[in-house]
Amino acid sequence: MIPFTYTRATTPAEAARAAIATPGARFIAGGTNLLDLMKLQIETPRHLIDVNALKLDTIAPTADGGLRIGALVRNTDLAADKRVRRDYAVLSRALLAGASGQLRNKATTAGNLLQRTRCPYFYDTNMACNKRKPGSGCAAIGGFNRNLAVLGTSDQCIATHPSDMAVAMRALDAGVETVKADGTTRTIPIADFHRLPGTTPERDTNLEAGELITAVTLPRPLGGTHIYQKVRDRASYAFAVVSVAAVIQPDGRGKLAFGGLSHKPWRVEPAEALMPQGPHATAAAVLAGARTTPQNAFKLPLVERTLDLVMTQAKGAKA
């Protein structure tokens, strides 16, 4: 790590102001991803603003029957919350499918959304990576890319977003509440929160400089059967090769979001109208426009098969 100064913020607005005022500043909450990257000097902040004392660690009902999840609620606590387990089981299941017990105890709701790609070329500072060093090229294209993106890629980046939690939140149409340095607040729909790489793969999200996440909101419960099906290279503690977050109603319709495929949680709403026709038609619509490499082309049939499993499980749960 390069040297950095350190302060503790006491209010969200103060934290956002400090982030703008201090060159090279970054927020730190759980730190499980940021410190990992700082040790490798992939992230090199000159100043850390510790946001852990901001009291954003509660889960409360919203006026319209949903839930507001504080930005600092730890992944373990979110997964174990009785209301989340009962009404948003897909979110509990996604969280429990990710990381390890130790990491979930530390990692926060906001930090999980902001975690960076696990593309091996992003992590290897000897290799070209447009996300880590804009303009340096992409060693993943033409490299070892078995687990990299097949949808929404660009000629500059084929990284995937590694989060399981964010995939469930995409299926649930969550909102991301923030405060900016000027004190204004906004809610960013989760669909617009993460970006596709395009020509600026160094930007993962649409947050502005200094903008701090304060909460994630969930709309009122959808009912239905909640399933998070994650396919990975070992049974536990591995990132998704493909994952499906599903909320499926008794009539076979529902909401579907996919992980492991793109720079953001992938969802194609028009494809959901095809769900009664089965996994083949639905997956074809979800995967329209996919660009694969010889190594990761296997993800396309894997999406259909995983979706088949999810739909079969949903039928079984209804019966």
Partner 1 sequence: MDQDRGYCPSRRGVLAGGIAAAGVAHAPLTAQEAALPPTQPTTVPVTLKVNGRTNRLDLDTRTTLLDALREHWHLTGTKKGCDHGQCGACTVLVDGRRINSCLTLAVMHDGDAITTVEGLGTPDKLHPMQAAFVKHDGYQCGYCTPGQICSAVAVLGEIKAGIPSHVSAELDGDYQPSAAEIRERMSGNICRCGAYSNIVDAMLDVAGAKA
Binding site for partner 1 (CB under 8 A): 1-6, 23-24, 28, 30-32, 35-36, 39, 41, 44, 46-48, 50, 52, 76, 79-80, 82, 85-86, 89, 92-93, 96-97, 99-103, 105-106, 125-126, 132-134, 202, 235-237
Q: How far is the CB of 42 from partner 1 (least distance, A)?
A: 8
| Per-residue b or e along 139-153, where b marks 16 or more CB atoms closer than 10 Å to that residue's CB | bbbebebebbbbbbb
Which residue, 234 or 289, has its beta carbon nearer to partner 1?
234
Which residue, 64 or 82, has its beta carbon nearer to partner 1?
82
Q: Specify the length of the chain in residues.
A: 319
Helix and strand element counts for the chain (H, E)? 13, 11
3-state helix, strand, coil in the chain (%, to 5): 30, 20, 45
Q: How far is the CB of 257 from partner 1 (least distance, A)?
A: 19
| Per-residue b or e along 28-53, where b marks 16 or more CB atoms closer than 10 Å to that residue's CB | bbbbbbbeebbeeebbebebbbebbe
Q: How far is the CB of 5 from partner 1 (least distance, A)?
A: 5
Which residue, 36 or 308, has its beta carbon nearer to partner 1?
36
**Pairing outcome for strands 59-61 and 175-179:** unpaired
CA-nearest of 168, 165, 159, 166 to 117 is 159
Q: How far is the CB of 173 from partner 1 (least distance, A)?
A: 21
Q: How far is the CB of 159 from partner 1 (least distance, A)?
A: 16
Which residue, 70 or 175, has its beta carbon nearer to partner 1?
70
Which residue, 31 or 198, has its beta carbon nearer to partner 1?
31
Q: How far is the CB of 88 from partner 1 (least distance, A)?
A: 10
Query: What is the residue-wise DSSP string for 80-113?
Result: H-HHHHHH-HHHHHHHHTSS-HHHHHH-BHHHHH
Q: What is the rounded distance in angstroms from the CA atom of residue 171 to the CA atom of residue 243?
A: 12
Which residue, 89 or 311, has its beta carbon nearer to partner 1?
89
